[in-house]
Structure 1
């Protein structure tokens, strides 16, 4: 029996950053190597992404995962035992076929991604490699540019503001370490400004400040001020937004509850254009809803040469959807979330499809996170260029930023900085 043959698969219930149950898988190989995979969960989700299988009912608010764990410890484990963990694509294809649905709805995407990641970790351990090195397979590395949330809104913060994430991107930093230092300065400055203005209500799901603004644009004004108070120019520190527009769309129109405004697609695009003109915005995620393809195409046509237009709910980490969007001219960047795809192989395929189209890519965490740092290793090893894990607070977020510092020390890999777009690898 080869050393990397899977000998045991086990699933257990653990708890995420919102105190909800989630799935952890461990994979043990013939040589004793062990890998662990943990499934996060999103608050705003695309309709076509892998299903986060929950039990429903009243226990634990309906969020328990006993069905997903039963699948993991039953038919998934039986199918995986005896397979070679080094053959990630073969293993993931088996998971996809075993589930048999387009969205992992039968077994649960939370079960499949946990096992897929666990197998990858076990294979890396068997090779005596850190995950970033195993993921790279000898290709060039690059430390990703962070996108760090300063204010949280939308589904992450009780809809105190309509926009889900107000983030910063340290374009002018010369290293991952300096990038985090600059973001920390902005986070501290924003907190002081919020406190002085009496606008701070607490902390959102991902660690950003939970604001008490009267209009969405006030968050942009405050964030721009915080960058200045931190002593940074806009060429050094820019703004990134996640509109999460699918959460705002109802009856074909966008409803901004904070301002009691209802906008059609053209008016939504015009509003974003006014913000781009007025503030140092370089990236907008989900500017229009997943079912507003025409709006996404128009938004990309108008602003795609000036800002990064990121598809999340629209693309759901799907290579076929990325290729279709690229052909239509909708978006110019793909958000990459492993649990959104359901397996490591499908996640990598979506990233490769985006980069083949000349797009930039962002490896991303979810609002319901764990201490797992896998996505940091994947962002580095896959040369993604950008990494989004939430704010500069809360241990499930800081575990990931700190892991990036360790990887930078170990690899001395160049920092993406403002050159965060596709980078050819030898």
Structure 2
């Protein structure tokens, strides 16, 4: 047994300049490792809560109370434990905090600790994290298909457009490196088009362009134009992915698109998005309706689930029970896996397995408030999850994760890239079968 000998929490800073929690773990064999908690701007009501101090200091966002929990009760519960017993370490933290959303310890304290335990176990085994995860959980590692933001909106860009993420995926790429190359061309083509039209307001939270569009659909038109300017045929090697994040502009089935001063009910929103699916090469769509609109999600999935990937984020908050319920009700066909949304590695893995049991897609995801931590690149690869959502193609906290995948590709080989496998059940997959 390799035991945990010490745990230390420290305050570090995320990509928005906000304080966050880093946890460093030392083992009795001399090994050490660390991990950092990210933070989201668009947050599901049922996800784990970041514990913040409140008050005037650092706009109320300081994390001294969360650090005190790491260095106090969490350390006391985990020191002496076998570092390879991930589920035991996570269960020990959960026993300290019986609240549904980690209100006592703080999800930022638990996720940084849980990830640090995983890193320390891998370091002690002298294995890269992706390989340790694959060996530990009996999975086949593979390089995931990236989902990369071109335009940021919603909570990521001052709500200048209502839709949160306008992204691309490159399922037709030969390998991970070619995904990066094509994305580079599309990203900068989009910036050129926006600058020429006076539509470029800056860069959003996750590194995508901050747009100044007159309508939400103008973003889709511009994205198609950028794909074409990059020398690609929209819907061929490159497809569009959207994160609607409808909970940010809707409640109980009533929605308002502020950019267009347009109010609609759930049915009208579904019709609008259905029109977009008909008009643009969209292969994946996330949170098309609000987290409190289950009837709307069921209806959206009924109408479009055989054509596109429908991801639950705020709707499912990396919760295995919610995935099971959604699958039983016919809502969604994929889930976003955010480790800090659940609060521990073990809970996230339970959600991943629940998705697999229903034949769903599972997309390991970053948050808008990110760091140099590359855990999710390793988790997605080690689990063979198939898809990875990190943000855009700029800003070092994003590029660190894409670059880590390129390093892993050098070890696993280019053939380990999943290509378009993740979209096999969408219209894009059907198109490839017809062409074969």
Residues 10-25 of structure 1 correspond to what in structure 2 (within 5 A)?
A: 10-25=8-23
Residue 401 of structure 2 corresponds to 400
Aligned residues of 1:384 and 1:422 also touching (Cα < 8 A): no
Q: Is the 8 A contact 1:358 1:422 kept in 2?
A: no
**Distance (whole Å) between structure 1 residues aligned to residue 380 and residue 141 of structure 2:** 9
Residue matched to 1:214: 214
Q: Deviations over 1:205-251 (max 9, x none)?
A: 00000000000000000000100111112221000000000001146
Aligned to 1:173: 173
- Residue 37 of structure 1 pairs with residue 35 of structure 2: yes
Query: In structure 2, the residue corresponding to 1:55 is in which secondary structure?
Result: coil
Runs ≥4 in structure 1, deviation > 6 angstroms?
none
Deviation per CA, 1:355-392: give whole Å up to 9, x if none.
11000110000000000000000000001100000000
Q: Does 1:155 align with 2:155?
A: yes
How do residues 63-212 of structure 1 correspond to structure 2 at under 5 angstroms? Answer: 63-137=61-135, 139-212=139-212
**SS across alignment from 1:27:** strand
Query: Which residue matches 2:316?
Result: 315
Q: What is residue 344 of structure 1 aligned with on the other side?
A: 345
Between 128-137 and 94-103, report the one with greater CA deviation: 94-103
Contact 2:23/2:36, CA 8 A, preserved across alignment: yes
1:300 maps to which residue? 301
1:417 to 412, 419, 430: 419
SS at match of 1:73: helix
**Deviation by residue 1:231-290 (Cα, 9 ceiling, x = unmatched):** 112221000000000001146411100000001000000000000000000000000000
Give yes or no for the alignment of 1:253 onto 2:254. Answer: yes
Aligned residues: 421
| TM superposition shift of 1:107 | 0.3
TM-score by length of 2: 0.95
Deviations 1:329-374 (A, max 9, x none): 1100000000000000000110110011000110000000000000
1:420 is paired with a residue whose SS is helix
Q: Is the 8 A contact 1:355 1:422 kept in 2?
A: no
Which TM-score applies when normalising by structure 1? 0.97
User: Do the aligned partners of 2:283 and 2:423 also contact (CA within 8 Å) in 1?
Assistant: no
Long gaps (5+) in structure 1: none
Worse-superposed segment, 372-381 or 129-138: 129-138
Change (3 A) 1:299 1:221: same
Counterpart position of 2:24:
26
**Unaligned stretches of 5+ in structure 2?**
426-436
Q: 2:80 is paired with a residue of what secondary structure?
A: coil
- CA 1:356–1:376: 2 relative to 1, 3 Å: same
What's the CA shift string for 1:167-211, capped at 9, x where partnerless? 000010010111111111100110111111110000000000000
Distance across 1 between alignment mates of 2:255 and 2:312: 18
Q: Secondary structure at the residue paired with 1:284?
A: strand
Which residues of 2 match residues 334-413 of structure 1 at below 5 A? 334-412=335-413
